[in-house]
Amino acid sequence: MAKPFHLNTPLLESVGMSKRVGTTVYLKMENSQPSGSFKIRGIGHLCQQLARQSKGVVCSSGGNAGMAAAYVARKMGVPATIVVPSSSPQLVVQRLQDQGATVKITGRVWDDANAEALRLQETEGLTYVPPFDHPLLWQGHASVIAEVAASLGPGVKPGAVLVSVGGGGLLCGVVRGLKDAGWTDVPIVAMETAGADCFNAAVKAGRLVTLDDITSEAKCLGAKTVCKKAFEYSRCSELTIISELVTDQQALSAVQTFLDEERVLVEMACGAALAAVYSGLVRRLQDEGRLPALLGPLLVIVCGGSSIDMEQLTLLKHKLQA
Ligand code: PLV
């Protein structure tokens, strides 16, 4: 098999988070991937399988899937077109262009950009790279859990895993990884922000739900419909997937605390998962008996994200904390 594009990222113990939760918290630092997020795992794998002979790839993205596709395409010597909605900040457009990609801005939300990417696949004969809904992506993302298992060593198993959910690709990859490791009894806490909550809406309704709009500032969680596989996993009796929401303010506040305590800047999509610790949600789930009171090590997938810098952080602070 070809050498993967992703790195084996550090697994760090967080003293600050461990103190809050009362058990050891491990951070899987996907922010340190070359493209700035976990997305490169799945997208690198998918492109190695599907884009070798391609005349070009086209990816619809809130930003980070695009960053991964642009990076991988550049390394493979294939042109990349990334379609983003107008809600993606200018800084990510610039970063995509710096990776050598052609950027097209279409529509207001990711679903609009995706329609355009699918059109370009047809009219231009480009290889379509989906951001979250493909078995090859999930297979690639599963490597994150395999690495954690190798880092923790035999006999150590997480008590729970914290992940952010946008379209559900990371969630599906984590489930696959847990299955491969023989860890299907490990509960997953699936985090979204209110206003970008297509997974939570589906879990509550007992069917796939398409949101009217994305009103959260966590734009990279902004798919209107979660992928079918993620929904199916939520109903699978072998798995425990707890779907929870935080507010934009909680996600942003988590981004700031994480920057202060861990010295790492991530975007709000990632802040949604971090907020489960900082807002006391994990403690509440333990009090409610939905997570064990005596919890084994908590694994937080620090999914990362490139749509953030100090200017964007200040802007979000003014917008959300006014
Ligand atoms: N972002 C996708 C989908 O956007 C994208 O195009 O970049 N954390 C970060 C930093 C992300 O960028 C994403 C997805 C997620 C978490 C959620 O991953 P998913 O979509 O696989 O559930 C609309």
Could you write out the DSSP letters of every residue in 31-76?
A: GGSTTSBTHHHHHHHHHHHH-TT-S-EEEE-SSHHHHHHHHHHHHH
Our mutation pick for probing the ligand 1 site, out of 91, 96, 220, counting the most ligand atoms within 8 A of Cβ, is: 220
Which among 229, 46, 26, 233 has a CA at the least distance from the CA of 141? Answer: 46
Distance CA 311, CA 292 (A): 40
Instruction: Output b/e per residue, 51-79; b: 16+ Cβ within 10 A.
Output: beebebbbbbbbbbbbbbbbbbbeebebb
- Give, for all 322 residues of the chain, the pLDDT tens digit: 789 999 999 999 999 999 999 999 999 999 999 999 999 999 999 999 999 999 999 999 999 999 999 999 999 999 999 999 999 999 999 999 999 999 999 999 999 999 999 999 999 999 999 999 999 999 999 999 999 999 999 999 999 999 999 999 999 999 999 999 999 999 999 999 999 999 999 999 999 999 999 999 999 999 999 999 999 999 999 999 999 999 999 999 999 999 999 999 999 999 999 999 999 999 999 999 999 999 999 999 999 999 999 999 999 999 998 7
pLDDT of 321 reads 81
**Is 216 strand, coil or helix?**
coil
Nearest-CA residue for atom 6 of ligand 1:
61
Nearest-CA residue for atom 13 of ligand 1:
220
Query: Residue 168: phi, psi to the nearest 5?
Result: 100, 5
Type and span of the H or E element at 24 = none
What is the 66 CA–ligand 1 centroid distance (Å)? 10
What is the 63 CA–ligand 1 centroid distance (Å)? 8
What is the 65 CA–ligand 1 centroid distance (Å)? 7
What is the 64 CA–ligand 1 centroid distance (Å)? 6
Residues 6+ apart with CB under 8 A from 53: none
Q: What tokens does 162 get?
A: 């914290």
Q: What tokens does 65 get?
A: 């899937």
Helical segments of the chain, H only: 15-21, 39-50, 64-76, 90-98, 110-124, 135-141, 143-152, 169-181, 198-205, 228-234, 248-262, 268-278, 281-287, 310-321
Amino acid in the structure at residue 6: H
Q: What ligand 1 atom has the least distance to the C-alpha of 36?
A: 10
CA 258 vs CA 19, 49, 133: distances in Å: 14, 36, 29
Q: List, chain by chain if needed, residues with CB within 6 Å of any ligand 1 atom.
A: 37, 39, 61-65, 110, 131-132, 164-171, 220-223, 267, 269-270, 303-305
Q: What ligand 1 atom has the least distance to the C-alpha of 270?
A: 8
Q: What predicted TM-score, i.e. pTM, was given to this entire model?
A: 0.98
Half-sphere exposure of 180 (CA within 13 A, CB side): 19
pLDDT of 165 reads 98
What is the 169 CA–ligand 1 centroid distance (Å)? 8
Q: What ligand 1 atom has the least distance to the C-alpha of 304?
A: 10
Give the burial class of 275: count Cβ atoms within 10 A of its Cβ; 0-12 exposed, 13-18 middle, 19 or more buried. buried
Our mutation pick for probing the ligand 1 site, out of 9, 39, 41, 105, counting the most ligand atoms within 8 A of Cβ, is: 39
Nearest-CA residue for atom 10 of ligand 1:
305
Nearest-CA residue for atom 11 of ligand 1:
220
Residues 6+ apart with CB under 8 A from 99: 67, 70, 71, 74, 80
What is the 221 CA–ligand 1 centroid distance (Å)? 5
pLDDT of 2 reads 84
